[in-house]
A = this chain, B = another copy of it.
């Protein structure tokens, strides 16, 4: 890293399948405008229920990208 500077942003990703897929959605969407995302940290995990079944996995991740 030496003398590098990274910025962290918080993004909420959602998915009907799994938390891994929700993270992938958050990363993919953010990568459209940010080209140097290096890592994520899971901050919060939630989800939505309908008719007694989980219908959406929601994850808040902190995404870190390099500042040029």
Q: Give the number of residues in A that approach B within 8 Å (Cβ atoms).
A: 55
Q: Judging by beta carbons under 8 Å apart, are B39 and A49 in contact?
A: yes
What 1/0 mask marks residues of chain A from 31 to 68 whose CB sits below 8 Å from any chain B CB? 11001011111101111110011111110101110010
Decide: B1 and A6 in contact? CB cutoff 8 A.
Answer: no
Q: By the criterion CB–CB under 8 Å, are A47 and B40 in contact?
A: yes
Give min CB distance, A63 to chain B, whole Å. Answer: 8
Are B16 and A2 in contact, with the CB atoms below 8 A?
A: yes
> Are B1 and A27 in contact, CB atoms less than 8 angstroms apart?
no
With A40-B49, A46-B41, A49-B38 as given contacts, are A27 and B8 in contact (CB-CB < 8 Å)? no
B28 contacts A52, CB within 8 Å?
A: yes
